[in-house]
Amino acid sequence: ELRALIFDVDGTLADTERDGHRVAFNAAFREAGLDWDWDEALYGRLLAVTGGKERIRHYLDHYNTAFERPAALDEFIAGLHKAKTRHYLDMLKDGAIPLRPGVARLLAEARAAGLTLAIATTTTPANVVYLLESTLGRESVEWFSVIAAGDVVPAKKPAADIFEYALRHLGLPAEACLAFEDSANGVRSSVGAGLRTIVTVNGYTRDEDFTGALLVLDKFGEPGSPCTVLAGPAVE
Ligand code: XBP
Ligand code: MG
């Protein structure tokens, strides 16, 4: 019996990456006097690594090896990331990032059906709260029994840890839940935790490998603008 739905945030609830996180990273770099600029194509490649701090480190290791690293690299990255989060939260406060089509409807229908809602994401906890508040209202944060986010687990997606953490706190077996994801890293994480997973792709993830997913859709969709099935039991 289905008891709970567990949602990824970035790319699934909202298209946060290209016009949100990416822009906030660049603002933080400029503010720190760095000439780093993550354009849309580079950012697509950097998305191979989840987590903002981890992504900055990956950029230095693979795309900016000439940069003279400060002795206290961890603190340097943490400082940049803190500034990035401030810029990102400012954007959310301004209502700059809407939910994807069908997300509000799906959440409302799930609540009406008595399903438990949860979140499993690599993003910083405040980013989740601000997104929910700015799109669904202040009280919507309480619709979610568990918000598993960011550094509460040592290994981020594609590791299964964050979904396992969410399941533990829900007190439910994986068989009683359904996960929603947008990326290959996310699907590896949710499937790794034993969860049936529905994927809604976005511009960055459309061509990724979703092996193990139950169903791949272009979006959740609304009446009048329904979703398209990209892969799943309904199509060969
Ligand atoms: C989302 C991410 C996040 C955001 C930035 O992955 O990778 O890192 O880009 O968030 P997923 P922070 O959707 O698979 O959870 O900068 O707050 O880490
Ligand atoms: Mg995602």
Encode pLDDT of 104-153 as tens digits. Answer: 999 999 999 999 999 999 999 999 999 999 999 999 999 999 999 999 99
* Bridge partners for 61 per DSSP: none
Tens-place pLDDT, residues 13-67: 999 999 999 999 999 999 999 999 999 999 999 999 999 999 999 999 999 999 9
Q: Is the CB of 122 under 6 A from ligand 1?
A: yes
Residues 6 or more apart whose Cβ sits within 8 Å of residue 216: 198, 199, 201, 210, 229, 230, 231, 232
Beta strand 215-217 pairing with 229-231: antiparallel
User: Quick check: CB of 190 below 6 Å from ligand 1?
Assistant: no
Q: Is 61 a catalytic residue?
A: no
The upper half-sphere exposure of residue 61, i.e. CA atoms within 13 Å in the direction of its Cβ, equals: 10
The ligand with the least distance to the CA atom of 87 is 1
User: CB–CB of 136/110 below 8 Å?
Assistant: no
20 lines ligand 1 (CB under 6 A): no
191: buried, middle or exposed (CB in 10 Å: 19+, 13-18, 0-12)? Answer: buried
* Model pTM score: 0.96
DSSP for 26-55, please give it. HHHHHHTT------HHHHHHHTTS-SHHHH
d(Cα 127, Cα 117) in Å, to the nearest integer?
18
Instruction: Delineate the domains of the chain, giving CATH numbers in brackets.
Output: 4-16+99-231 (3.40.50.1000), 17-93 (1.10.150.240)
Q: Is residue 8 among the annotated active site residues?
A: yes
For the segment 156-176, what is each residue's pLDDT rounded down to a tens digit? Answer: 999 999 999 999 999 999 999
Structure tokens given for 123: 């993003």
Ligand 1 midpoint to CA 235 (Å): 31
ipTM for the whole complex: 0.94
